[in-house]
Amino acid sequence: MASALFQSRGYSVIELLVAVALCAMLLGGVVAIFVGSRHWFSSSDAVSRMQESGHHALNEILGGVRSAGFSGCARSPRFVFSTLNDSDAVHWAFLQSAVTGYQGKGAGSAAAIEGAGLTNADPGSDILLIRRPVPGSTPARLRTPMSDAAEPLYIVAEGNALKSGQLAMIYNCEAAAYFHADRVEDDVVFHAASTAIPGNSTNSMGYAFGASAEIIPVETILYYVGTKPVLGGVVRSLWKHTGSGTPLEVSPDIENMQLRFGVDANEDSIIDEYVSADDVDDWQTVRSVNVTLAVREPDASRPSARHPPVSSEPVFRIVPSTFSATAAIRSRTSKPEDVQQ
């Protein structure tokens, strides 16, 4: 009986303590693995989103650079005219350079910000202005030649993408004219004179275009780093301002943009040097644009209700990553690869 009782006794206190300690060690290891995996996933996700934001912003800007100044022909037209009212204003100055930059805190930056209405622009970042055809637009084609420079444009209706109220360019290899299409009806484009902005100061194109001349919508875009208030703080991102419309946020977490312009002063299709906006003497000699973006970790730059900022400046966990690329202005080079650095 005594032997049976001895064999059926429970675990001792020491054995229980050892078992609990082993279980605690195993549980601690599992928790450490879980926490480490979660931290790794969060970091990887933040880096992935940061790269996505940087690449998206670069692709947006460089796509605009490549298409800037499209004139429809490999060579520049001999005659270029604008019928637009207030044609010296930033949004309507199509006779000026297709690419212009404004250096952050530079000589022309404040005037450009005020003239374009960029009320949320960050003064420490550069601004890039691009004049180009509206992406994805199919040119309309004149069906009959103009009998004089002031008559409406009779176009081939099939595939016409031009809409009433758009700015447009009519072009052939001899001439180009920028105008406001105040009314588009089926196969007729009207361009009457008016006092509206950006209406036409005259109904004359200055040139009577022949049949097969093409018409394409055009736009002026300003890319800049802008600020946005969030929960008592501010965040920065890449913004796009098209014409006189409302600025749109393109990519979040873009903290800074710096621009360098490839200048070909002697017109030999070789870039002589890359300079900042304030050092460009003639914007017509710019053949390419280098864009450098500083991108912050997503969410780390955003103040939250639980952790509000102590000042108007956001607080960050990590230093920004830098994204940089260069694009040629295709209308100023016979081929993009012709631009050499």
pTM, 2 dp: 0.79
pLDDT for residue 154: 93
Sign of CA dihedral 274, 277, 281, 282: positive
pLDDT for residue 245: 86
Residue 193 DSSP one-character state? B
- For the chain, 341 residues long, give each residue's pLDDT as a single digit of tens: 555 555 556 667 777 777 777 887 888 777 777 666 666 555 565 666 777 888 899 999 999 999 998 877 777 788 999 999 998 888 899 999 999 999 886 656 666 666 677 888 888 899 999 999 999 888 999 999 999 999 999 998 777 778 899 999 999 989 999 999 999 988 899 999 999 888 999 999 999 999 989 999 999 999 999 988 888 788 899 999 998 888 999 998 899 999 999 999 888 888 999 999 999 999 999 999 999 999 987 654 444 333 344 334 443 444 568 899 999 999 888 644 444 33
pLDDT for residue 314: 40
Compute φ and ψ for 328, nearest 5 degrees. Answer: -90, 150
pLDDT for residue 317: 45
pLDDT for residue 119: 82
pLDDT for residue 270: 87
pLDDT for residue 228: 87
Q: Which residues pair with 185 in a beta bridge?
A: 188
Q: Which residues pair with 328 in a beta bridge?
A: 288
How many whole angstroms from its chain centre is CA 10? 74
CA angle 174, 175, 181 (to 5 degrees): 145
Contacts of 179 (CB under 8 A, 6+ apart): 82, 83, 84, 167, 168, 169, 170, 191, 200, 205
**What is 41-58 written as a DSSP string?**
HHHHHHHHHHHHHHHHHH
What the block records as the tokens of 40 is 């790794």
H-helix or E-strand containing 320?
none
Contacts of 188 (CB under 8 A, 6+ apart): 152, 153, 154, 155
Closest by Cα among 131, 151, 193, 171 to 332? 131
Give the CA distances from residue 156 to residues 181, 186, 188, 333, in Å, rounded to whole numbers and listed in that order: 16, 9, 9, 31
